[in-house]
Amino acid sequence: MTPPHPYEGLNSPPVERPMQKMARFHTLEVADVKRETEDAISIGLQIPQDLREDFRFIHGQYLTLKLEVDGEELRRSYSICSSPFEEGRLRIAVKRVHGGRASSKLVEQLKAGDTLEVMTPMGNFYTLCDAAHEKHYVAFAAGSGITPILSILMTTLR
């Protein structure tokens, strides 16, 4: 049985529940990099028109990046912190982890115009939204755990 669509009853974005697709990597351009704190950035990714269907997502999902660091391939997952209503753009946040090779490279070196290998969105961390309860949602988050909650909040409050 298919679970209800998380946007059911809301002013939903013009998408159906994303179908489970074969996950694969695509090269995406970094539109912008915002310094959020001394050790954290958010990365805006530009989604080309021909890949927008593949990168449709439900609030609370994540992206996996494939990076090369010192000749070794690393894969790291980061929660999407933008709303599905923002067409053509996705935003993730990265916090530098002490000794973290991937997070350090991203926080210290990434800039607009760079490209990243990005897997299509995955994950089931979302909440079912009901328009009848639109003013009765509460969210709690701490530290870097706020990133998927930001996506959920922006979508729910829309």
pLDDT in tens, 67-92: 999 999 999 999 998 888 778 889 99
Tokens found for residue 50: 């021909």
Question: Looking at residue 88, what DSSP letter applies?
Answer: T
pTM for this structure? Answer: 0.74
**Is residue 51 packed enough to be buried (19+ CB in 10 Å), middle (13-18) or exposed (0-12)?**
middle
Distance CA 37, CA 155 (A): 24
Pick the CATH number of 25-157 from 3.90.1150.200, 2.60.120.620, 3.60.110.10, 2.40.30.10: 2.40.30.10
Mean pLDDT (the chain) is 80
User: For 20-27, what is the mean pLDDT?
Assistant: 81
10 Å Cβ neighbour count for 5?
16
Q: What's the CA angle centered on 19, arms 59 and 63, to 5 degrees?
A: 45
> What are the boundaries of each domain within the chain?
25-157
